[in-house]
Amino acid sequence: MHRPSLFVRQVRSAAAPVKAPSFPTPATSPHEGTLLATTCIASLEERAGIAMTLTRSQLHLGGRLPGAAFLAPFVLAALASCSGAPTRQVHPESAEPPAPNRGDIVRIAKTFVGTPYRAGGTSRKGVDCSGLVIAVYSEFDIRLPRTSVDQSRVGEHVDRSGLKPADLLFFKTTRKNPVSHVGIYIGGGKFVHASTSERRVRIDALNDDYYKHRFTVARRIVDG
């Protein structure tokens, strides 16, 4: 008796099941592995013109992908193209960041013009004179002391005739302290500072009678 249907079932049952390919786990943390897999899947979708929906557990490289037998060539191509792409940039510990540009410091300082004066403030919501200096220089990862007196003790002493943009200017505006005010020189005989009388950040001339007679010292924080 001829039983073609039984023969087909027997052949199919004897056939080895198709296993989805597994991929070697990279020497990275699970988070980084998941990120790499996600990136590769995006590449796969672009290359194969298909969309894939994966659960979190399936995003690990050791997991099985839906329809892997069909998608294996695309997956391998995608993995090969993205396996060498770095997920983050690593800098040697010994490498020092480039020195900030004076022009960039001046540019940032000018963006504070109009900011309200606020005693103890160090942000764009409000600053005092030394707080302005801290806020501007912190944009370049330079940490300075909190008060104008302490700031006048750091950096290199500069003569008034040798001023450069981004130098700090210090003034004696009270009888009590030798230094009680600070501003940032921006070139052209002008400086930006948080004025207590005007209650805001503004630009004034160093040769203004008030500041000319109260100027005490200048300090250079940035070389060059």
Contact between residue 206 and residue 215 where contact means Cβ atoms under 8 Å apart: yes
Could you confirm whether 129 is annotated as catalytic? Answer: yes
Q: pLDDT: is 204 or 55 the higher one?
A: 204
Rounded to whole angstroms, how far apart are CA atoms 185 and 63?
Answer: 60
* Catalytic member of 40, 82, 91, 193: 193
Q: What is the pLDDT of residues 84-106, one digit of tens each?
A: 433 334 344 545 556 789 999 99
**DSSP 8-state assignment for residue 16:** P
Percentage of the chain exceeding pLDDT 70: 56
* pLDDT beyond 60 at 161: yes
pLDDT at 22: 55
Rounded to whole angstroms, how far apart are CA atoms 20 and 23?
Answer: 10
Q: pLDDT: is 38 or 164 the higher one?
A: 164
Sign of the dihedral defined by the CA atoms of residues 171, 174, 176, 180, in that order: negative
Rounded to whole angstroms, how far apart are CA atoms 69 and 166?
Answer: 64
pLDDT at 130: 98
Could you confirm whether 193 is annotated as catalytic? Answer: yes
* pLDDT beyond 70 at 202: yes
* Catalytic member of 2, 31, 60, 129: 129
Q: pLDDT: is 66 or 120 the higher one?
A: 120
Q: pLDDT: is 68 or 219 the higher one?
A: 219
* pLDDT beyond 60 at 186: yes
CATH code of the domain occupying 102-220:
3.90.1720.10
Q: What is the pLDDT of residues 103-139, one digit of tens each?
A: 999 999 999 999 999 999 999 999 999 999 999 999 9
pLDDT at 220: 98
* Catalytic member of 2, 31, 40, 181: 181
**DSSP 8-state assignment for residue 98:** P
Mean pLDDT of the chain: 74
Rounded to whole angstroms, how far apart are CA atoms 192 and 184?
Answer: 5
* pLDDT beyond 60 at 1: no
pLDDT at 50: 42
* pLDDT beyond 70 at 68: no
Token pair belonging to 113: 């013009």
Q: What is the pLDDT of residues 17-39, one digit of tens each?
A: 545 555 554 444 444 444 444 44
pTM: 0.58
What phi and psi, each to the nearest 5 degrees, are found at residue 191?
A: -145, 155
pLDDT band at 224; cut points 50, 70, 90: confident
pLDDT at 144: 98
Q: Where in the chain is the domain with CATH 3.90.1720.10?
A: 102-220
pLDDT at 97: 59
pLDDT band at 67; cut points 50, 70, 90: low
Rounded to whole angstroms, how far apart are CA atoms 160 and 115?
Answer: 27
